[in-house]
RNA sequence: GCGCCCGUAGCUCAGCUGGAUAGAGCGUCGGCCUCCGGAGCCGAAGGUCAGAGGUUCGAAUCCUCUCGGGCGUGCCA
């Protein structure tokens, strides 16, 4: 298997003569802005600086010194750039073979010694699973798959919110008003109703919150009491209800260790901080001062009533994960509005000089906004107001929309319901992972139910077209048989598709590094676009035998790349739709 | 008040950590199925990259300020 880019890097380095490490680092080959310039380009700016020469001059010298070979056709200087062009046959062979033989980066990389903990989804299970939970869930699940693809050992953790005040409030509500049969009928909906009811009642009668606090204290006492029993009951019911959305999204966890898991691991944390002499009393609470880190608000580890908080549990979780998983990174896929919380968490860890502090990374994401029809402004969802949108409703709508289109366009499709589920759910997931993580997402039914243009179905459709061609051909499934005797020169006109496919590896690496799945989502759109264009102009099945064989190999490879990429972001590929 | 995030085409967004002529989708307008799937393809119109300074060979990208929008700001998570 030939890696063209690596080969080119070596050739460039050789052409430049002796290179010190700094100059070697300055060799960043990247796709040119405009494909007409070349297949890949080198901007000579940094290199010129290091060599104390003008960029155009360095570019001209490099281009002149560069000899074409079996893989590289040409090197041309264009101002400060050198534009390289791969030999078409080499390009096609390199990409298609790598893909079909499942070589990295298209296939999973060999195991590395990196261990990554990803804390994601982590819903507060005393609340309904609504659109707001979708983001953490799909981003986190995508990051798990991406890192695994790159050979890391991944520990995907669902850090359930099954402890603390929100849970105590739900407990209080259920103890007061709970009806078993209503809960059984529709757990998600009923808990939501209780949640809203509690919110309204607490607004009028603040003593309700005090009652909840007392229940929490009783729960945290560790005794086997009514609170403990209720906690267990509600936790089990919630988990059951949550499994539905997780199954539909195809999301799994390696560990489901909620906040309650750390119940017996918080005391040691408090003792550790006490021993370090950084835990001080303030207004009856035990806090860690963080002014030296530029954080004005101290971090409270124990409330004045003696109970613990989010921070206390998160610290216990960090220490636990450090010990159990020896992670190189711990990612927290949590909303951007909790940025301060994680800054505090890191600072509190640094306060006692624990090196794990540098491995803790908050992976923030934007809010989901709803359009306020009256003001015309985009606003944060007010779930306490009772207008939350349940994830299941959205998925159902999308699936129904897809089902309708299938009925119109492909009425004979076998298994239409199953396909509609994949495409509908895929559309929602894809839509969520399409844009940069940190930006707020405007919840818009028309965007959710769009299946044309930059959408999941657009990419799935490209895959289905490829699958359809393969189905109608007699192409062997076995890669060796498929690749045998292919004349790669015949794929000259597929360069745009191939060059885009070539970006797959860097895209996955970047997505992992920046915790940004949208890098992959956007590449999938580009690859799908190239395929749609290519198929319009180049017929496969009717082509002459030699050409047909070459194109079938390309089709199989393109289909595989789409399926892999979609798989990484959690969208299913379909052969028919 | 202070801190952080965002501001790119009518709308929704890309723009690979400073590089070549700022790109897509939706919408609008105009083309394309006797041909492997039209959930598609090709084209047109549409820009003071919020504004003003600065840094340098070069800025949508980095720095400062201003204006908009959002989030956060000890006993919730």
Do residues A27 and A155 share a domain?
no
Is there a domain that residue A482 lies in?
A: yes
In this prediction, residue A50 has a pLDDT band, given cuts at 50, 70 and 90, of: confident
pLDDT reading at A65 higher than 80: yes
* Gap from A472 CA to B66 C1', Å: 63
Domain with A16, as residue range(s), is: 4-86
Please name the residue whose C-alpha is nearest to the C1' of nucleotide B32. Answer: A536
- Asked if A534 and A494 touch (Cβ cutoff 8 Å), the reply is yes
Residue A376's pLDDT is: 64
Do residues A179 and A227 share a domain?
yes
A268-309 pLDDT tens trace: 999 999 999 999 999 999 999 999 998 999 999 999 999 899
Residue A130's pLDDT is: 78
pLDDT reading at A381 higher than 80: no
The owner of tokens 């959408």 is A455
Helix (H/G/I), strand (E/B), else coil: A84: strand
For A344, phi then psi, to 5°, come to -65, -45
| A380 or A30: which leads in pLDDT | A30
pLDDT reading at A41 higher than 90: yes
Q: Which nucleotide is nearest to A510 (CA to C1')?
A: B16
pLDDT reading at A139 higher than 80: yes
* Gap from A33 CA to B23 C1', Å: 10
Q: Which nucleotide is nearest to A452 (CA to C1')?
A: B39
Do residues A327 and A405 share a domain?
no
A520-539 pLDDT tens trace: 999 999 999 999 999 999 99
Is there a domain that residue A383 lies in?
A: no
Is there a domain that residue A148 lies in?
A: yes
Read off the DSSP letter of residue A367: P
Residue A387's pLDDT is: 62
Do residues A308 and A263 share a domain?
yes
Least Cα distance to A62 among A84, A77, A78, A79 occurs for A77
Is there a domain that residue A77 lies in?
A: yes
For range A37-56, the mean pLDDT: 87
In this prediction, residue A386 has a pLDDT band, given cuts at 50, 70 and 90, of: low
Residue A47's pLDDT is: 86
Cβ neighbours around A39 below 10 Å, total:
25
The total domain count for chain A is 3
A181-209 pLDDT tens trace: 999 998 888 888 888 888 888 888 888 99
Residue A374's pLDDT is: 66
A467-484 pLDDT tens trace: 999 999 989 999 999 999
A432-454 pLDDT tens trace: 999 999 988 888 888 889 999 99
Q: Which nucleotide is nearest to A405 (CA to C1')?
A: B39
Do residues A157 and A279 share a domain?
yes
CA–CA separation, A555 vs A92, rounded Å? 12
Q: Where are the alpha helices (DSSP H) in A326-358?
A: 339-351
* Gap from A73 CA to B57 C1', Å: 31
Do residues A128 and A82 share a domain?
no
List, as one string, the DSSP characters of A2-15.
--HHHHHHHHHHHH
Q: Length of chain A in residues, anyone?
A: 577
For range A3-32, the mean pLDDT: 84
pLDDT reading at A22 higher than 80: no
Tell which of A67, A86, A105 closes a domain.
Answer: A86
Is there a domain that residue A91 lies in?
A: no
Q: Which nucleotide is nearest to A575 (CA to C1')?
A: B37
CA–CA separation, A509 vs A43, rounded Å? 21
Is there a domain that residue A450 lies in?
A: yes
Is there a domain that residue A101 lies in?
A: no
CATH number of the domain that A30 lies in? 3.30.1360.70
Least Cα distance to A156 among A248, A260, A251, A262 occurs for A251
CA–CA separation, A154 vs A382, rounded Å? 34
Cβ neighbours around A567 below 10 Å, total:
15
pLDDT reading at A2 higher than 80: no
| A103 or A441: which leads in pLDDT | A103
List, as one string, the DSSP characters of A218-251.
HHHTT--SHHHHHHHHHHHHHHHHHHHHHHHHT-
Do residues A554 and A455 share a domain?
yes
- Asked if A147 and A154 touch (Cβ cutoff 8 Å), the reply is yes
Q: Which nucleotide is nearest to A535 (CA to C1')?
A: B36
| Average pLDDT across chain A, whole number | 92
CATH number of the domain that A417 lies in? 1.10.730.10
Rg (C-alpha) for chain A, rounded Å, is 28
Q: What percent of chain A has pLDDT over 90?
A: 72
- Chain B positions with a protein C-beta closer than 7 Å: 3-6, 12-17, 19-21, 23-27, 35-42, 57-58, 69-77
A121-131 pLDDT tens trace: 999 877 777 78
Residue A156 Cα distances to A102, A213, A255, angstroms: 25, 31, 6
Please name the residue whose C-alpha is nearest to the C1' of nucleotide B72. Answer: A337
For range A226-250, the mean pLDDT: 92
In this prediction, residue A382 has a pLDDT band, given cuts at 50, 70 and 90, of: low
Do residues A361 and A221 share a domain?
yes
Residue A172's pLDDT is: 92
Tell which of A368, A402, A418 closes a domain.
Answer: A368
CATH number of the domain that A211 lies in? 3.40.50.620
CA–CA separation, A401 vs A446, rounded Å? 11
For range A18-38, the mean pLDDT: 82
Do residues A178 and A255 share a domain?
yes
Do residues A177 and A235 share a domain?
yes
For range A490-506, the mean pLDDT: 95
Is there a domain that residue A272 lies in?
A: yes
pLDDT reading at A384 higher than 60: no
* Gap from A412 CA to B34 C1', Å: 23
Do residues A516 and A471 share a domain?
yes
- With a threshold of 0.90, tell me whether the complex ipTM lies above it: yes
Do residues A255 and A151 share a domain?
yes
> A526: burial class by Cβ within 10 Å (0-12, 13-18, 19+)?
middle
């Amino acid at each position: 298997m030939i890696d063209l880019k690596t080969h080119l890097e070596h050739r460039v380095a050789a052409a430049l003569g002796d290179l010190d490490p700094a100059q070697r680092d300055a060799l960043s080959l990247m796709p040119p802005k405009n494909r007409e310039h070349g297949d890949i380009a080198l901007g000579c700016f940094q290199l010129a600086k290091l060599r104390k020469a003008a960029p155009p001059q360095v570019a001209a010298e490099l281009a002149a010194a560069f000899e074409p070979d079996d893989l590289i056709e040409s090197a041309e200087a264009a101002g400060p750039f050198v534009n390289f062009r791969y030999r078409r046959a080499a390009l096609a062979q390199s990409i298609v073979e790598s893909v079909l033989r499942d070589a990295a980066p298209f296939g999973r990389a060999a195991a590395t010694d990196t261990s990554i903990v990803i804390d994601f989804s982590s819903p507060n299970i005393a609340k309904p699973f609504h659109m707001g939970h979708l983001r953490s869930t799909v981003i986190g699940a995508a990051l798990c798959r991406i890192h695994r693809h790159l050979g890391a050992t991944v520990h995907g953790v669902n850090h359930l919110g099954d402890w603390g005040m929100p849970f105590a409030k739900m407990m209080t509500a259920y103890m007061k008003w709970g009806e078993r049969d209503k809960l059984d009928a529709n757990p998600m909906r009923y808990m939501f109703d209780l949640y809203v009811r509690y919110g309204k009642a607490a607004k009028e009668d603040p003593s309700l919150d005090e009652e909840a606090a007392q229940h929490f204290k009783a729960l945290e006492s560790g005794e086997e009491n009514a609170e403990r029993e209720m906690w267990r009951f509600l936790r089990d019911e919630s988990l059951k209800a949550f499994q539905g959305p997780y199954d539909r999204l195809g999301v799994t966890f390696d560990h489901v260790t909620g906040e309650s898991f750390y119940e017996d691991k918080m005391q040691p944390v408090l003792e550790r901080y006490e021993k370090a002499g950084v835990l001080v009393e303030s207004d009856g609470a035990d806090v860690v001062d963080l002014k030296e880190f530029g954080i004005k608000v101290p971090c409270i580890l124990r409330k004045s009533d003696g109970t613990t908080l989010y921070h206390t549990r998160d610290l216990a979780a960090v220490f636990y994960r450090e010990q159990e998983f020896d992670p190189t990174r711990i990612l927290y896929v949590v909303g951007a509005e909790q940025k301060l919380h994680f800054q505090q968490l890191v600072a509190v860890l640094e306060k006692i000089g624990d090196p794990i502090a540098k491995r803790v990374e908050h992976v923030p994401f934007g809010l989901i906004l709803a359009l306020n029809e009256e003001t015309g402004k985009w606003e944060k969802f007010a779930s306490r107001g009772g207008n939350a949108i349940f994830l299941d409703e959205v998925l159902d709508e999308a699936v129904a929309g897809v089902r309708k289109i299938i009925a119109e366009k492909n009425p004979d499709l076998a298994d239409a319901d199953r396909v509609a589920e994949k495409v509908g759910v895929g559309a929602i997931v894809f839509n969520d992972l399409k844009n940069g993580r940190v930006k707020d997402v405007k919840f818009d039914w028309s965007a959710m139910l769009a299946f044309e243009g930059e959408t999941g179905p657009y990419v799935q459709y490209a895959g289905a077209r490829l699958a359809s061609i393969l189905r109608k051909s007699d192409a062997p499934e076995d890669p060796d048989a498929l690749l045998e005797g292919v004349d790669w020169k015949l794929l000259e006109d597929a360069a745009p598709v191939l060059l885009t496919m070539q970006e797959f590896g860097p895209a996955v690496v970047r997505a992992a590094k920046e915790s940004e799945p949208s890098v992959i989502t956007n590449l999938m759109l580009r690859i799908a676009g190239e395929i749609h264009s290519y198929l319009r102009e180049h017929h496969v099945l009717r082509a002459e035998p030699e050409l047909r064989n070459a194109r079938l190999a390309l089709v199989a490879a393109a289909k595989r790349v789409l399926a892999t990429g979609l798989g990484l972001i959690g969208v299913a590929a379909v052969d028919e739709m």
